[in-house]
Amino acid sequence: MKKDKALIIIDVQKDFCTGGALPVPNGERIIPVLNKYISLFKKNRFPIVASRDWHPEDSKHFKSNGGVWPKHCVVKSDGAKFHPKLCLPASAKIVSKGTIPSEDGYSAFDARDNNKKKLSRIIKSIGVKEIFIGGLATDYCVKASALSAIKENFKVYLLKDAVKGISSKASADAISLMREKGIELLDFRKASKLFAGRVKYTRKEA
Ligand code: VGL
Ligand code: ZN
């Protein structure tokens, strides 16, 4: 099976949802939709990657150390856990970013797995050409990740029903910029249609 498409889920962690340290307003509302995308990719045997913000206590990204953000997603903390409602399969690849004190780590393309392998190498090595991005937050890590993916020559789809931003104005601007860069917007119905041909071939009868 050719693995030319991958689902990339950005930072769906407790700290970015209601009750967390840096909540995206209603961030958790995208989770049921993301779970549908997860099922769609699983059914078609395409890889699923989840990035996580994974900062050390002394990250310069935090206000307390000269940065702009309240402390969030500190390595191994409860807030850094993936939201419990997100149904990540055991086969999902996890990559961590913002892990050294001097980096913000907005882009998932700077994230690495446990073997220090960068996201782009992980997915390129299995033949991924097209990526489908959802998660948090539209105006920061989703935007940075989607723009890096374009620079790395991937075809990029933004899952518009599976992203949420911190500021609605900044998120709208981010989406305009992403479209200018050639990123295509999809919703679940359109994405299912893109995959429809494949699902048929996996049926036993026909
Ligand atoms: C993010 C601000 C700070 C994000 C991460 O995941 O979009 N935003 N750290
Ligand atoms: Zn962060």
- What is the pLDDT at residue 195? 85
Residue 93 covered by a domain:
yes
From 14, 15, 17, 22, mutation site for ligand 1 pocket: most ligand atoms within 8 A of C-beta: 22
| Number of domains forming the structure of the chain | 1
Q: Is residue 201 part of a domain?
A: no
Given a cut of 70, the residues of the chain with pLDDT beneath it are: 1-2, 197-206
Ligand 1 mutation target, pool 8, 16, 51, 99, most atoms within 8 A of CB:
16
Residue 205 has what pLDDT? 46
3-state class (DSSP) for residue 187: coil
In a domain, 200, yes or no: no
How far, in Å, CA of 126 to CA of 119, rounded?
11
Q: State the distance from the centre of ligand 2 to the C-alpha of 97, rounded, in angstroms.
A: 8
Q: Could you write out the DSSP letters of every residue in 9-29?
A: EE--BGGGSTTSSSPPTTGGG
Residue list, ligand 1 pocket, CB within 6 Å? 11, 16, 53, 69, 136-137, 140-141
**CATH number for 28:** 3.40.50.850
Range of the domain at 81: 5-195
Q: Return the amino acid letter for 172.
A: A
pLDDT at 197: 65
Active site residues: 11, 97, 141
Is 22 part of any domain? yes
Q: What is the pLDDT of residues 44-61, one digit of tens each?
A: 999 999 999 999 999 999
Instruction: Kindly state the helix (H) or strand (E) to which residue 195 belongs, with its residue range.
Output: helix 188-201
